Structure 1
Amino acid sequence: MTSSVTRRLALGLFAGATLLASAATAQTYPERVIKMVVPYPAGGPTDVIARIVAEEMGKDLGQNVVVENLAGASGAVGTRTVAKADPDGYTIVFGNNQTHGNNMFLLKEPGYDAVKDFAPLAGAGAFEHVFVVSNQLPAKSMQELVELAKKDPGKLNYGSTGVGSGSHLATELFMVRTGTKMTHVPFRGAAPLVTELMAGRIDVSNSTLPSVLSQFQAGNMRAIGLASPQRNPQAPDVPTLREQGITNADAESWAAFFAPVNTPKPVLDKLSGKIIAILNKPDIKERITKLGFTLNVRDPEAFKPYLAKEIQTWAEIIKTANIKAE
């Protein structure tokens, strides 16, 4: 028997053993607690959705799924932690267009590669953005906001959930489209931003709908424009930007579940299948939709081309708005 034949046989046996071990791992997985990292503070819309899914995963998998909030560096701290975690299916992340897109262009050293270091488990959908203003601000429409911003460039301030977040970039895009200038005030998550907006220390924010829905419904702030092609059924009285004459300024912030890239495929398939099934449960869909989140569930193969297109889109927005890496 030649050495090359012997080598091929050895490689074949090794590959077979690896597949058997991988299949055995999937059959017994999970054997302990799974950690779902949310790279933002507790209390925000991303955190709420993650906890809904984690609770259901725990029931379906027979093991607790614990949400851990690891905020910092525009979501890079928690995301980096998952990228470096053991690829065994026991550490996953609920990421978004900031953690798995914008940070690649806006952070000089994010500490991970959003595409190469992760395996998508499921695309969940997107947060639509809505312009909300402090009750102390006289603007009651987008045109009135534009007039105020142009009257004294830079005087109005706008809050976002961090440099490179959807709320930041979507507002920068809006300013480019309308020729306005407002001063950026970044926060570490949605909860502190909402508090400051209600207190009147922030004038305006182009926030994700779930983060402000209950507050403007309660009259604690005013919603004046939805950055989406059509109105949202959770806020039917809020007109779109397009309806108010502002075009090419729509933006949404997608969200998705990821695992470290070298996680065994049978484990990835099991996690993916469970998450997708959960997101399609009627009661879960209702709970998440009521938050103002637009569900659009994608399996990994459908999500990958969407991810590539979204990264390109936001890269263009960053370039258009002339935002520099930090």
Structure 2
Amino acid sequence: MTRIRTGVLAAALAGLTATAAWAEYPERAINMVIPYGAGGATDISARSIAEPLGNAVGQPLVMANITGAGGATGSVAVQNAQPDGYTMLFARVGSHSVNPAMKATLPYTLDDFRFVNVYEINPFACAVAAGSDIQSMDDLIAKANGDGVAFSSSGVGSGLHLGAVMVLDAFGVEDAANTATHIPQQGGGAAATAVLNGTADFLCTNSSSVASFIANGQMRPLLVTTPDPIEGFDAPSAADLGKPELERLVGWTGIAGPADLPDDVAAKWGEWMAEATSDENFRTVMESRGSIIELMGPEEANAFIQTQYETFRALVDELGMRIEG
């Protein structure tokens, strides 16, 4: 009888051990939602960090572009996912600072997500096609006040939407939100394409998404929203042009899960991102695009995102861009 009991106990312990090992996170691939289209700042950032992050995680990362509604569609997909760490979001300034600030009927709030980090900050750059007759910000503003201009963005309520209006307003264009023609696209890559093919006159977007077009001579930068010029961008800074208020216009990328993401899962992401963001190749690629790689932990990230939201909400109210419907 003792042998039987011992055998049963051993089997039970073995089963518990197997269950614990099976439940170790992560035990399978992780779905990573990119809420914007290919070629935009979020997509570039996500795919640049995918390899070092995947190495740190030790499981495949399944990258999926779920686009629409200025980043809201992909965000909602993560908001409604199981909070088990197997569906995570590349959160962005547009989806989680500008969108909540602009849209009264947005189907989520910042409280619907748990931000495990912010790892990238990048300035904005305003740019035109290389063949454009707009050579400077003076030319752009003269055209805006004359025949009118059209700008592209990654969607209504996106960072690119607010950014262009904010820049035009800073340079004295009256009722900038309605004076310029807004041409929304499905993502930052499509917004850049609209400028390249002449559908739009200009865009104001994150430096990372136009760096390659500027480097190969397809685009001309007019302005960067930094105190100092950016290497590779032959354009004056906001400070150079006497518009230091535009330095508030910056992008950021972080990773978030559903609100109820467990503490132990969030802690894992802290470890993985510390390793991934120290990868020299990743840093070189992103810094060459004007990005600053700076890893913020959960508390710092949440405080930063809240401040960004409040900043953009004040700007939205000032510019009359709140979307109530």
Matched, 1:159 2:159: no
Checking the alignment, whether the CA contact within 8 Å between 1:89 and 1:263 is kept in structure 2 is yes
Whichever residue aligns with residue 270 of structure 2, its letter is S
Alpha-carbon separation, structure 2, partners of 1:167 and 1:25? 45
Question: Counterpart of 2:245?
Answer: 248
In 1: Cα distance, 2:37 partner to 2:204 partner: 19
2:186 paired residue number? 188
SS at match of 1:244: coil
**Residue in structure 2 matched with residue 84 of structure 1 by the alignment:** 80
**Quick one: which of 96, 120, 124 aligns to 1:125?**
120
Cα contact 1:25–1:267 (8 A) shared by 2? no
Once the two structures are superposed, residues 188-226 of structure 1 have per-residue CA deviations (whole angstroms, 9 ceiling, x without a partner) of 112222222112221111121111111122221211111
Partner of 2:93: 97
Shift of 1:26: 11
Match of 2:300 in 1: 302
Q: Detail structure 1 runs of 4+ shifted over 3 Å in the superposition.
A: 24-27
Cα distance change of structure 1 residues 215 and 25 upon mapping to structure 2, 3 Å threshold: same
- Equivalent of residue 65 in structure 1, options 61, 64, 71: 61
The 1:147/1:246 distance shift into structure 2, 3 A limit, reads: farther
Is 120-129 or 82-91 further displaced after alignment? 120-129
| 1:28 aligned residue | 24
Deviation at 1:50, TM superposition (A): 1.0
- 1:143/1:244 contact within 8 Å kept: no
How many pairs are equivalent?
300
1:133-212 equivalences in 2 (<5 Å) = 133-152=128-147, 155-180=148-173, 181-212=179-210
Looking at structure 1, the residues matched to 301 and 213 of structure 2 have their Cα atoms a distance apart, in angstroms, of 32
CA contact (8 A) 1:26 1:267 kept: no
Query: 1:106 Cα deviation (Å)?
Result: 2.5
* Distance in 1, Cα, partners of 2:23 & 2:49: 22
Q: What is the alpha-carbon root mean square deviation over aligned residues?
A: 2.0
Secondary structure at the aligned position of 1:123 is classed as strand
Instruction: Map 1:220-299; keep pairs closer than 5 Å.
Output: 220-235=218-233, 237-250=234-247, 251-299=249-297
- Match of 1:188, SS state, is coil
Aligned to 1:14: none
Does the 8 A contact of 1:91 with 1:259 survive in 2? Answer: yes
State whether residues 100 and 309 of structure 2, in contact with CA within 8 Å, keep that contact through their aligned partners in structure 1.
Answer: no
Unaligned runs of 5+ in 2: 1-19, 174-178
- The SS at the match of 2:246 is coil
Residues 134 and 202, structure 1, Cα contact 8 Å, conserved in 2: no
TM-score of the aligned structures, taking structure 2 as reference length: 0.86
1:74 corresponds to which residue? 70
User: Comparing 300-309 with 311-320, which one deviates more in the overlay?
Assistant: 300-309
The residue number in structure 2 matching 1:8 is none
Q: CA 1:61–1:140 in structure 2 vs 1: closer, same or farther (change >3 Å)?
A: same
Q: Which runs of 5+ in 1 are unaligned?
A: 1-23
Alignment partner, residue 19 of structure 1: none
Distance 1:102 1:45, change over 3 A: closer
Give the superposition deviation at 1:136: 4.1
Q: Distance in 1 between matches of 2:239 and 2:180?
A: 21
Measure, in 1, the Cα distance between the counterparts of 2:322 and 2:303: 26
TM superposition shift of 1:242: 2.3
Contact kept? 1:276, 1:299, Cα under 8 Å: no
1:51 Cα offset (Å): 2.0
Q: Secondary structure at the match of 1:242?
A: coil
> 2:101 touches 2:309 (CA, 8 Å); kept in 1?
no
Aligned equivalents of 2:98, 2:260: Cα separation in 1 = 23
Which residue is 1:320 aligned to?
318
